[in-house]
Structure 1
């Protein structure tokens, strides 16, 4: 074994003879575009507006290329997904192309230069939304800067549910500078196509009808010498109501038929009372189903709820009327004078063609049984009249209730049943 000193001498000789040599050659040279990038940002201050005179206004052009819109009617919020194209002129980012390798445009990261902050004024406070742009921007030799970031904005939109489920929602989003005045940063639209819908896709359950844009000058009494302009975008959307209509409109018609059908049945049969009670129970089930789809705290009441409210009153009236008619049919005392007079007036006039009789084959048996109960007190003719008078009065009352219910339902269908416009 060699001594330590000898081994060290041998190892040193090997290194000197380049046996374990590692040489790194770094001959990196900046090209013209990199040099231009460094020169432009050498003394650049991204915290301040890119103007040489502080009185100069920076005009920022805005264009939305919509990709997707989702609307939540329960939370009353609208979310806009889009590519936002913004263009302005930076007085500190310009050069002569012939002096810089004939370079006419370069790319810069948005955090390296000044970028405008476009804020959504009616934003949803529960969702964090930054007004800072994070994107790669294109800078031209004349100082024009264009950035196209992909952004998502969630705003508050009060729902209009009166014609639900065939409702049309109109939502507006307001954009502008949060702290700068219009004399410092002037937000405006592109002259051509301020809103692009070429690649737009409809969100679930909603169809976008149109988009309109408007620039609000922003004059306020508190600040007569300054303006705070805003860009207003209005979105008009229509609910795709094929599914909700099948759940709401068709059951509404069925409920009408159930209630009216119960009024046509004989009161001697308990089926009439059961059918009317089932119709009333169906109203409650119907309300529960609609409650899952309608915002609980919306100030705008859907007219379909008003229809169900009035329909419940009619159905409850039909149940009470059935119980009252059952009471009339069981009466054994002679009818009142005004009841007899009303019966004669209807039977001798054109009203007899309107009143429909109940098909009750047990009427004769009922009369015979009643005749035996009151035998010896009145004559045979009077006994039959006791029952017939009350039966005739019950038929008149039932016919009136049916006609009134039919007319009321016809009005409710015309006024309260929503229609697809």
Structure 2
């Protein structure tokens, strides 16, 4: 085959592709040409400023969508759309040269992007300071990227008012290596935090979000700044469930203990109820132990209430055993006990001693006195011991009632 024939055949096979390339170049839209011209000599490894002494100002806005808080592990996670805007001096053009195109879309990996790091991030989770998304680029070099990012940080819990506690979780953002004179983070002038599409996480309700820019001036570096963006999230626990298994049983245990002290000192059911109440305290403490951290920074005041209530119940059991022993004594009572018992029987003190007396004992005493029975003195002595025990029991009940009122006001948390 001669050279002319080979050239002809080659031209036939190449002609469609050559024609397609020529046609493609003819219809190459100006946006593609603009993109090609912008990134021909562009380097995304350096800050986008022509004067290296100038800082890149990055404006930040958080559109919070969802959050979760694990108070057992003390970790706080925020899912949000993070809008960031800055000026790239190397990505500018004249719209009239490209068909009046004023805005294009570019991929974040093609351009320089700010690396905003979370300083108090959870070290157990890998969180990169880079993001990958599609960004908007204006003809004056203004870049806007809105990636969806989940930030997980450490949040020290305060459980003193548990289960009606509130938590303040703070996240600190800034540049890990750049100074404020190189990359300057700041907020959008309007709506730095957007909550219009926010959805509360399980068991927690977001009350408010506060934002603050920290200048980052330190004594070690008087001529340099390291600014940070501070976001404080105030959360309130949805305590309907915990309150049903914690606060309400606490009140029930108190009523059970006080009701037991109202029974007669010789009643065995009294001792049984007090022992049951003490057992309920132990079960209650075990139940609370499953719901709170084992190594919290502070102690929930509801635990202090259960602790003191347990001590009062134990005192009630010991007093009951003592009084049951005294009511069975038949030896003569000391004069001051006899005097006090007589004073209570005949005076207004009988309205204070509300524990039920045994009417049969009083009847037997009266009959014995009328008939001159020799056992009348023994019966009177027994009644004196019973009266004295009832007086002690009444005093113990009043003291326990006042103590429980103080404990409820002091230690039972309220939903404010």
State the match for 2:387 in structure 1: 392
State the match for 1:224 in structure 2: 222
Report the CA distance between 1:173 and its aligned residue.
Answer: 0.8
Q: Which moved more, 1:237-246 or 1:147-156?
A: 237-246
Report the CA distance between 1:381 and its aligned residue.
Answer: 3.3
What is the 5 A alignment of 1:319-398?
Answer: 319-347=317-345, 349-360=347-358, 363=361, 379-398=374-393
Deviation string for 1:167-206 (max 9, x for gaps)?
A: 1111111111111111111000000100011111111111
Aligned length: 395
State the match for 2:3 in structure 1: none
- The answer to whether the Cα contact below 8 Å between 2:215 and 2:227 also exists between their aligned partners in 1 is yes
C-alpha separation in 2, matches of 1:40 and 1:343 = 105
State the match for 2:410 in structure 1: 415
- The answer to whether the Cα contact below 8 Å between 2:64 and 2:80 also exists between their aligned partners in 1 is yes
Report the CA distance between 1:65 and its aligned residue.
Answer: 0.4
SS in 1 for 2:265: coil
- The answer to whether the Cα contact below 8 Å between 2:88 and 2:143 also exists between their aligned partners in 1 is yes
SS in 2 for 1:385: helix
Gaps of 5+ in 1: 1-15, 372-377
Q: Cα RMSD between the aligned structures?
A: 2.3
State the match for 1:307 in structure 2: 305
Deviation string for 1:367-397 (max 9, x for gaps)?
A: 89xx9xxxxxx94332122201110110000
Q: Which moved more, 1:57-66 or 1:67-76?
A: 67-76
SS in 1 for 2:224: strand
C-alpha separation in 1, matches of 2:119 and 2:194 = 22
Q: TM-score, normalised by structure 1?
A: 0.89
C-alpha separation in 2, matches of 1:251 and 1:93 = 67
SS in 2 for 1:224: coil
Do the aligned partners of residues 218 and 329 (structure 1) sit closer, same or farther apart at CA in structure 2, a change above 3 Å counting? same
Report the CA distance between 1:349 and its aligned residue.
Answer: 4.7
Gaps of 5+ in 2: 1-7
Q: TM-score, normalised by structure 2?
A: 0.90
State the match for 1:246 in structure 2: 244
1:274 aligned to 2:269? no
C-alpha separation in 2, matches of 1:182 and 1:362 = 91
Instruction: Find the partner of 2:294 among 296, 319, 342.
Output: 296
- The answer to whether the Cα contact below 8 Å between 1:119 and 1:131 also exists between their aligned partners in 2 is yes
Report the CA distance between 1:409 and its aligned residue.
Answer: 0.7
Report the CA distance between 1:314 and its aligned residue.
Answer: 0.7
Deviation string for 1:24-65 (max 9, x for gaps)?
A: 634333421112112111111111111111100100000000
C-alpha separation in 1, matches of 2:260 and 2:15 = 101
Report the CA distance between 1:302 and its aligned residue.
Answer: 1.1
C-alpha separation in 2, matches of 1:94 and 1:185 = 20
1:120 aligned to 2:118? yes
- The answer to whether the Cα contact below 8 Å between 1:69 and 1:203 also exists between their aligned partners in 2 is yes
Do the aligned partners of residues 344 and 267 (structure 1) sit closer, same or farther apart at CA in structure 2, a change above 3 Å counting? closer
State the match for 1:173 in structure 2: 171
Report the CA distance between 1:352 and its aligned residue.
Answer: 2.5
What is the 5 A alignment of 1:47-86?
Answer: 47-86=45-84
C-alpha separation in 2, matches of 1:24 and 1:271 = 105
C-alpha separation in 2, matches of 1:417 and 1:125 = 36
C-alpha separation in 2, matches of 1:396 and 1:303 = 33
C-alpha separation in 2, matches of 1:367 and 1:331 = 16
Report the CA distance between 1:339 and its aligned residue.
Answer: 2.2
SS in 2 for 1:227: coil
